[in-house]
Each structure stands twice: as structure tokens, then as C-alpha cells.
Structure 1
């Protein structure tokens, strides 16, 4: 059981937590690789790497795609193409994807706390999508993403006292758990929309609290 009122700060991942978008990101990575000229096997290799590194910035994934999958030089022009094309592929998918139910009710129950989004997604893209989907007002602490990684963002926002302990991170990936643990935050894993294939074994081995979705946070409280 969670005591919602004990937390001064709530930090949320985006994909698989707030938006049902993990499968859409997979589609976008595959499409971007194909648009760049990759064959089906190479495009799938990028998707596999993306799934393996859930929550990690797209910059890291595209560097791996160019160097390790395509075996070609890493140039800024290629990176810019991939980032811009991926952004287009993502935005057209996230404009209409499912939003987690229960967000507004949870915000009302934790009205005294500070809410942030810390995601591996592109920061400006996230802010535009959240504004378009009318979600920005829920996150008074800000919406943050790459090129900074989650460790860097949490350290910076803690230093600014934008993250105040006790604090909790709501995520759906191994990196969410690892980065929030390094930052000293409590953690709950939401599994309904996760694309982390080994989440059951990992959460059991780390003694992580698991719930299906945001709505379940409202019913598992004291």
C-alpha cells in the first residue's frame, strides 16, 4: 500500500506510463531505419537494441545503428536526418495514442506535491506533444527529456530543489528503476504497457513494487 501524501515529488516516465506509446516508438524506429535505407534485418536490429535499452536516449540508439548495425561512419548529417525523420514518425503516432486514465484523479489526490516528467524522449518533442494533448498543466515541475539522460536530469533537478524527497518515480523500464534508485527515489513499476520483456523476473529479483497502471495507484493506497 502506498501513502500518496508522503511524497513531496512525483516523477513519471512518459512512454508506457502516461502514454500507451511503446509499441508506437517501436514502429517509428523501424520506419526511420527503412527510410534511411536499411534492410528489414537491419531495421529489426535497431528495434531490438531500442527494446534492450528502454528509457535510453534516441541519440545513443542512432549512434549504435550507424556504427554497429550499418558499419558506416558516424556523421552529423546522418544523425540529423535520423533524428528529424524519427521525430516526424513519432509525432504523427503520439498525436492520437491512448492517455493513461486516472492521471487527473491522481493529480487531485497529490495536489500538494510537485509533478515532473523525466523521459528518454526528445525534450522539445515531449513538451509539444504534452501541450497538444493538454497534459502540460499537470506537471508543474516541468517536462524533461533528451539529449540529457535521466541520471543527469534527476541530479540537476534535485540540485535545484525541484525534486524534493521523499520522492517517487513511476516507470516501466529497467533504466527507470536503476536511475531513480541512484537518485534516491522510491520506485513503482507499471507493467500494463511496458515493452521490457523480462520485467517479471527483474522486478522480483529487485523486490520492486509492481502495478498495472496509473489507476491502480489510486486503489493501492492508504
Structure 2
């Protein structure tokens, strides 16, 4: 795969740049319990999160309130859940593993524009990337919720920030679907994914699969 031919490289965060998918599962469970949910209700939120990989946490917490707890999704409760989840996530992502080979890949694709497009909270992502020392690798910017990936891709293509040909590197069904709708090539990263059916899904759709980003580094 000749990654150097792409003018823009677009990365998902969780499961691609950071080994954080299962840490976020822990954070969703902890947040639900902090809110007063029992173990069954907390697990139901986790199951919904896994089912909708890459979708904004706003949607997931509204579902948690209305469908799992059977109560109105008030702005106050959603804001409480979002703030608490943010705290649970930040303390986990401050120490999680970063994808091996990231600086080397940046060096080998120096003419490409790098962006992060994630379902995670945008300001949270930027703070974590700055704390972890990888913010400056992404010269095209770091983008996340409350906008969803379809909205971000459409906007960044329209402004010329994503230049074709472009490649999206993701680890979820939604990553593939949104990048395909936007006209980007796609490669699936499987080493850290929490998508249970990734093997059958990628085979069914003929998707190129690699374990981690370091496998995309051009041979010397």
C-alpha cells in the first residue's frame, strides 16, 4: 500500500492512535454507576456504546437516560454524565499506549496533511494530545463531537482541509461507512478494535486490513 500517494491522512483516535477503546468501556461503566445505575443498567450502556462505535457520547447518554433508565433526558442530567465521563476518560487516557511508529509514519508522509476525526469530545481530544506530546503531528487539526464524523468530513472537504486522494484509518463500522460516504479510501486497524464482528465485516466489504499504523510505514 503506497501511503505516500495520499495528500491527506485522516485518523480515528480510539483504537487507532490510542489504545483506549477498552478504557472507554471502563469509563462508560463507571459513569453509569456514579449516576446511580445498577450493574445491569451500566452494562446496557456499555453494550450500546460498543454497538454504536464511533458515535458521539451525547447520543449514548441520551439513550442511557431515556431507554435504559426510563426517564427524561434533561439537559442537567446529560451535562452531569458528560462531565463525569470526561473525568473518567481523561484519567485513563493520560497513560494509555500510543500507536507504535507514529512519528516515523509522520516523517515518511511529510507532504501529507494529517487530521484526527473522532467520536470523542473535541476539546478533550486536543487537551489529551497536547498532554501526550502528539498534538503537533496533526497539522490539519483534531476534530470531534459534538459534530459527528459525517459532518466533520463534509466540512473539511468543503474547505479544502482534506485534499484528495485521502485515506481514512479507522477501527469501526461507522468509520468505514462515514469515510466511504465522503469518498475517502479506507483501511481498517484491527489490533485495538472493540468491534466484535470486524473480521466478517471487513471480508464482506473487501476492506484492506492491517493491525496497526506502523505497518503502513513505507519500506526504506
Settle same-fold status: TM greater than 0.5.
yes
What SS is found at the alignment partner of 1:187? strand
Instruction: For 1:80-119, list aligned pairs within 5 A.
Output: 80-119=79-118
Residue aligning to 2:215: 216
Residue aligning to 2:190: 191
Uncovered stretches (5+) of structure 1, i.e. residues with no partner:
none
Q: Answer whether contact 1:4 1:109 (CA < 8 A) is retained.
A: no
Q: How far apart in 2 are the matches of 1:216 and 1:90? A: 28
Q: Answer whether contact 1:55 1:176 (CA < 8 A) is retained.
A: yes
Q: How far apart in 2 are the matches of 1:139 and 1:159? A: 19
Q: Report the alpha carbon displacement of residue 101 of structure 1 after superposing the two structures with TM.
A: 0.6
Counting matched residue pairs gives 220
Q: How far apart in 1 are the matches of 2:207 and 2:12? A: 16
Residue aligning to 2:19: 20
Q: How far apart in 2 are the matches of 1:79 and 1:63? A: 7
Q: How far apart in 1 are the matches of 2:215 and 2:45? A: 33
Q: Answer whether contact 1:8 1:113 (CA < 8 A) is retained.
A: yes
Q: How far apart in 2 are the matches of 1:190 and 1:10? A: 14
Residue aligning to 2:199: 200
Residue aligning to 1:180: 179
- 1:32 paired with 2:31, answer yes
Residue aligning to 1:161: 160
TM-score relative to the length of structure 1: 0.98
Q: How far apart in 2 are the matches of 1:100 and 1:183? A: 25
What SS is found at the alignment partner of 2:217? helix
Q: Report the alpha carbon displacement of residue 218 of structure 1 after superposing the two structures with TM.
A: 1.8
Uncovered stretches (5+) of structure 2, i.e. residues with no partner:
none
Q: How far apart in 2 are the matches of 1:135 and 1:167? A: 21
Q: Report the alpha carbon displacement of residue 95 of structure 1 after superposing the two structures with TM.
A: 0.3
Q: Deviations over 1:42-80 (max 9, x none)?
A: 000000000000000000000100000000011000001
What SS is found at the alignment partner of 1:78? helix
- 1:76 paired with 2:63, answer no
Q: How far apart in 2 are the matches of 1:138 and 1:160? A: 20
Q: How far apart in 2 are the matches of 1:90 and 1:197? A: 22
What SS is found at the alignment partner of 2:139? coil
Q: How far apart in 2 are the matches of 1:100 and 1:74? A: 36
| Structure 1 segments (4+ residues) deviating >2 Å | none
Q: Deviations over 1:140-174 (max 9, x none)?
A: 00000000000000000001100010000000000
Residue aligning to 1:150: 149
Residue aligning to 1:120: 119
Q: How far apart in 2 are the matches of 1:69 and 1:186? A: 37
Q: How far apart in 2 are the matches of 1:81 and 1:5? A: 44
